Amino acid sequence: MVQPATKRLVTEAAATATYETLTGAASKYARRSAPAVSDLTYPLVMAHRGAANIFPESTLTGYINAAGLTSLQAVECGDYRTVSDGGIVDFHDDTVDRTTTSAGNASSFSTPGMKRLVVDSSSWFGGGWPDAGVSTLPEVMGAIGGLTVLVPEVKDLSDATASAMCKKIKAMGLQDSVILQSFNLTNLQVPDASGIATMFLTGTLTGSFTPDSLAAAGVKFVCFDWTATGDKAAFAASMKAKGMKVIAYTIDHQYNYDAAIAAGCDGVLSNDPIYVGRSYAAYRKAASAWNLNGTWGHGMLVAGTGPFTVAQRGSFVGAPGAWRWKMPNNQLALPGEVCPVPSPAGTYSVTTTFVVEGVPTNTAQGAAIFVAAPDDKITNLAGNVPLSYLVKARASGTVNAWRIDAAGASTAFPGITTTAWSIPTLSAGLTSGVAVTSLPVNALTVAVKAGHQFVLPTGQVATASGAAAVAATAIPVSSITPSAAVVSGASLLPRITIKADITPTSVTFTRTDEAAAGTSSMTDSSTRGGYVVLSNLMDNGGVSFESIAVA
Residue 460: how many other CB atoms lie within 10 Å? 16
Task: Summarize pLDDT for 521-542 with one digit per residue, the tens.
Answer: 999 999 999 999 999 989 998 9
Distance separating alpha carbons of residues 301 and 335, to the nearest angstrom: 7
* pLDDT at residue 515, as a whole number: 81
Average pLDDT over residues 393-397: 97
Please give the biggest Cα pair distance in the chain: 82
Mean pLDDT value across residues 315-332:
94
pLDDT reading at 413 higher than 70: yes
Q: Say whether pLDDT at 33 is over 90.
A: no
Give CA–CA dist 104/97, Å, rounded.
7
Question: What are the φ and ψ backbone dihedral angles of 311, each rounded to 5 degrees?
Answer: -60, -30
Rounded mean pLDDT of 241-253?
98
Q: Can you list the positions of beta strands (E) in 37-178?
A: 44-47, 74-75, 79-82, 88-90, 149-150, 153-154
* 292-317 average pLDDT score: 94
Q: Measured at the alpha carbon of residue 221, what is the angle toward residues 220 and 226, in degrees to the nearest 5? A: 165
* β partners of residue 368: 392, 535
CA 409 to chain CA centroid, Å, is: 29
Burial of 521 (0-12, 13-18, 19+ CB in 10 A): middle
Residues, the chain, total?
551
For residue 381, name the pLDDT band (cuts at 50, 70, 90). Answer: low
Residue 310 burial (10 A CB sphere; 0-12, 13-18, 19+): middle
- pLDDT at residue 188, as a whole number: 98
**The pLDDT value given to residue 378:** 84
Strand-pairing partners, residue 2, are: 317
Q: What share of the chain is helix, strand, coil (3-state, %, to 5)?
A: 20, 30, 45
349: which strand partners? 501
Average pLDDT over residues 391-409: 94
- What is the C-alpha to C-alpha distance for residues 222 and 166, in angstroms, rounded to an integer? 19
60-74, 217-231, 232-246, range with the lowest pLDDT = 60-74
Distance in angstroms between the alpha carbons of the first and the last residue of the chain: 31
Of residues 258, 246, 283, the one with CA closest to residue 53: 283
Please, which pLDDT band fits residue 71 given cuts at 50, 70 and 90? Answer: confident
Task: Dump pLDDT digits (tens) for 111-142.
Answer: 999 999 999 999 999 999 999 999 999 999 99
Tell me what pLDDT residue 28 has: 32
Q: How far apart are CA 110 and CA 7, in angstroms?
A: 29
Q: What is the Cα–Cα distance from 48 to 257, expressed in whole angstroms?
A: 14
With contact defined as beta carbons under 8 Å apart, do 247 and 41 qualify?
no
pLDDT > 70 fraction of the chain, expressed in percent and rounded = 93
CA dist 491 → 354, 422, 441, 470 (Å)? 16, 10, 9, 17
Question: How remote is the C-alpha of 67 from its chain's centroid?
Answer: 17
Name the residue with higher pLDDT: 20 or 144: 144
DSSP state of 264: T
The pLDDT, as a whole number, for residue 26 is: 31
pLDDT at residue 2 is higher than 70: no
pLDDT at 351 exceeding the cut of 70: yes
Quick check: helix, strand or coil at residue 22? helix
Quick check: 24 pLDDT over 90?
A: no
The burial of 479, by beta-carbon neighbours within 10 Å (0-12 exposed, 13-18 middle, 19 or more buried), is given as exposed
CA 121, CA 106: separation in Å to the nearest integer?
18
pLDDT class for 380, splitting at 50, 70, 90? low
Beta strands in 330-385 (DSSP E): 332-335, 348-358, 366-373
Cβ 386 vs Cβ 507: under 8 Å: no
Q: Percentage of the chain surpassing pLDDT 90? A: 88
Torsion of CA 303, 455, 444, 328, to 10 degrees: -20
Q: Read out DSSP for 167-229? A: HHHHHTT-GGGBEEEESSGGGGGSGGGTTSEEEEEESSSSSS--HHHHHHTT--EEEEETT--
> In the prediction, which pLDDT does 271 show?
97
Give the mean pLDDT of 347-361. 98
Please state, in angstroms and rounded to a whole number, the distance separating the CA atoms of residues 242 and 181.
Answer: 18
Name the CA dihedral angle for 307, 313, 314, 320, rounded to a multiple of 10 degrees: -80
Average pLDDT of the segment spanning 492-511: 97
0.85 exceeded by pTM: yes
pLDDT score of 437 more than 60: yes
Q: Which of 9-13, 343-347, 349-353, 397-401 has the lowest mean pLDDT?
A: 9-13
